[in-house]
Amino acid sequence: MNLAPFRDPGIAAWLIAEIHAAQKHPWVLMETCGGQTHAILRLGLDQLLPRELELVHGPGCPVCVTPAGLIDQAIALAGCPGVLLATFADMMRVPGSAGTLFEARAAGAEVHMVYSALDALALARRMPKREVVFFAIGFETTAPGSALAVARARREGIRNFSLLMAHVLVPPAMRALLQSPDNRVQGYLAAGHACAILGWEPYEALAAEFGVPIVVTGFEAADLLRGILRLVQMLEAGEARVENAYERVVRREGNTRAQAQMDGVFEVCAREWRGIGLLPDSGLQLRPEWAAWDAQRKFGDLASPSAAASECISGEILQGLKKPPACPAWGGRCTPAHPLGAPMVSGEGACAAYYTYQYIPEEEGPARHALPEGLTR
């Protein structure tokens, strides 16, 4: 795939000018995916958009929404003799109620970083005497990989492999945000990669029921700007449809093979979201016939839940109610080196995105939000 056009400065500048031309009223837009949040801050798109267009950041950071109790469980498992915990690297530094996986590893727990569930399965294959537990986190994007790994484990008769299930689904979380009395978001950029799996039909019900436009959006400069432009155009026209601005990746019905893979292994369940609470039908768990590969059924609940006192306001951050710099701890007591909460740790967390990227040259402060050079309305 040639991504050059999606990073072309000329195309981006044209889209920015179109947004400036289309926008007449103030609007609040949310990008649901943490990858989009990071791309927006890295590219500095917020500096180039009209001042009356506010971007708020959504719950789409899989590491951030994983409840502390599950991290505690992962740490407890990793400390069991003979058990090896395999995890995405992002999860290593996220604090549970009493520490991180990095700290657990330094203290002697067996924790391996992997790029995929299949890498974890390969570890199990290579070390038949060890119990390999994969910390299955993430949205629709990573869930098919977990399902595939378990299906392969069964086919190959690999019994020393299991999943610690933390998978979550995007549409139920969006529903929860829309139902909240505090919600002020008027249009949504839907997470392109999650839609690549489930398609966008689940969003049509949300758009109709709540009267909000939703645009399926990718991650490059032109992708994000097209998504924002379509949202602004629909809002100004009083329309509330679902549109796809990530055509090269997403189809209406999604990836039916991946869906079948997931349906065969997982079923929908209620799941706690860190900072947000228990959301019905928002998580995935292994179906009963796959219990042999379910770490929680295999090893039981090893961690006793404890409510850690923290000044982290990740719940408000993840629901787009507050922006990271509004948190009193942000950038001072809470930094990527000493995070108080997950959004400061993760490569998809909003607090880390602001900390890592936000910069305004002193002399250019007042001039931001102006049109890029050479463009006119």
Q: How remote is the C-alpha of 372 from its chain's centroid?
A: 30
Tell me how many residues contact other proteins (CB under 8 A).
30
* CB closer to other proteins, 79 vs 347: 347
* Residue 177: closest CA among 208, 153, 212, 152: 212
Beta bridge partners of 134: 86, 163
* CB closer to other proteins, 39 vs 329: 39
Q: Does 373 bind other proteins (CB under 8 A)?
A: yes
**Candidates 133-141, 146-154, 310-318, 349-357 — which segment interacts with other proteins by CB under 8 A?**
349-357
Q: Does 48 bind other proteins (CB under 8 A)?
A: yes
**Candidates 7-15, 157-165, 262-270, 296-304 — which segment interacts with other proteins by CB under 8 A?**
7-15
Rg (CA), the chain: 21
Contact indicator for 32, 188 with CB cutoff of 8 Å: yes
Which one of residues 359, 366, 376, 377 is an interface residue with other proteins (CB under 8 A)?
A: 359
For residue 284 the two structure tokens come to 């995935």
- Report the site for other proteins in 281-340 (rule: CB under 8 A): 336-337
**Candidates 40-48, 188-196, 294-302, 311-319 — which segment interacts with other proteins by CB under 8 A?**
40-48
Which one of residues 93, 105, 226, 322 is an interface residue with other proteins (CB under 8 A)?
A: 93
* Residue 251: closest CA among 192, 199, 198: 199
For residue 352 the two structure tokens come to 């880390």
Q: Does 120 bind other proteins (CB under 8 A)?
A: no
* CB closer to other proteins, 52 vs 281: 52
Taking the C-alpha atoms of residue 31 and residue 46, their distance in angstroms, rounded to an integer, is: 12
Q: Does 228 bind other proteins (CB under 8 A)?
A: no
Q: Residue 309: how many CB atoms within 10 A of its CB?
A: 7
Which one of residues 103, 119, 204, 316 is an interface residue with other proteins (CB under 8 A)?
A: 119
Q: Does 355 bind other proteins (CB under 8 A)?
A: yes
**Candidates 166-174, 199-207, 299-307, 356-364 — which segment interacts with other proteins by CB under 8 A?**
356-364
* CB closer to other proteins, 31 vs 272: 31
Contact indicator for 55, 30 with CB cutoff of 8 Å: yes
* DSSP strands (E only) in the chain: 27-33, 53-60, 83-87, 111-113, 131-138, 161-167, 187-191, 214-217, 242-244, 266-273, 277-286
Mutual orientation of helices 117-126 and 143-155 as an angle, nearest 10°?
30
Contacts to other proteins by CB under 8 A: 3, 7, 9, 12-13, 16, 41-45, 47-48, 93, 119, 221, 336-337, 347, 355-362, 364, 372-373
